[in-house]
Structure 1
Amino acid sequence: MDEHLMRGRVYGADYDDPDPGPQPGHAYRELVAGPLDGLLLDVTGWSEAQLAEGAALPTEIGSHGPGGRAQYAPRTGDPRHWDWRGDTPP
Structure 2
Amino acid sequence: MDARQVYDGWGGERCELVPGRVLVDLAGGPLDGRLLDVSGWRAEGRAEGSLLVTDLGLYGPGGRAFYTPAETDLQGDRPFRWRLSGPCARVRA
Same fold (TM over 0.5): yes
TM range (shorter): 0.7 to 0.9
- 2:4 equivalent to 1:8: yes
Q: 1:28 to 1:36 in 2, by over 3 A?
A: same
Query: Any residues of structure 2 matched to 1:15-54 within 5 Å, and which?
Result: 19-54=14-49
How far apart in 2 are the matches of 1:87 and 1:14?
17
Question: In the comparison of the two structures, how many residue pairs are matched?
Answer: 84
Any unmatched runs of 5+ in structure 1?
A: 1-5
Q: Taking structure 1 as the reference length, what is the TM-score of the superposition?
A: 0.78
How far apart in 1 are the matches of 2:6 and 2:16?
5
How far apart in 1 are the matches of 2:80 and 2:30?
13
Q: CA deviation at 1:22?
A: 3.2
**Cα RMSD, aligned residues only:** 2.4
User: By percentage of residues, which structure has more helix?
Assistant: 1
Q: Taking structure 2 as the reference length, what is the TM-score of the superposition?
A: 0.76
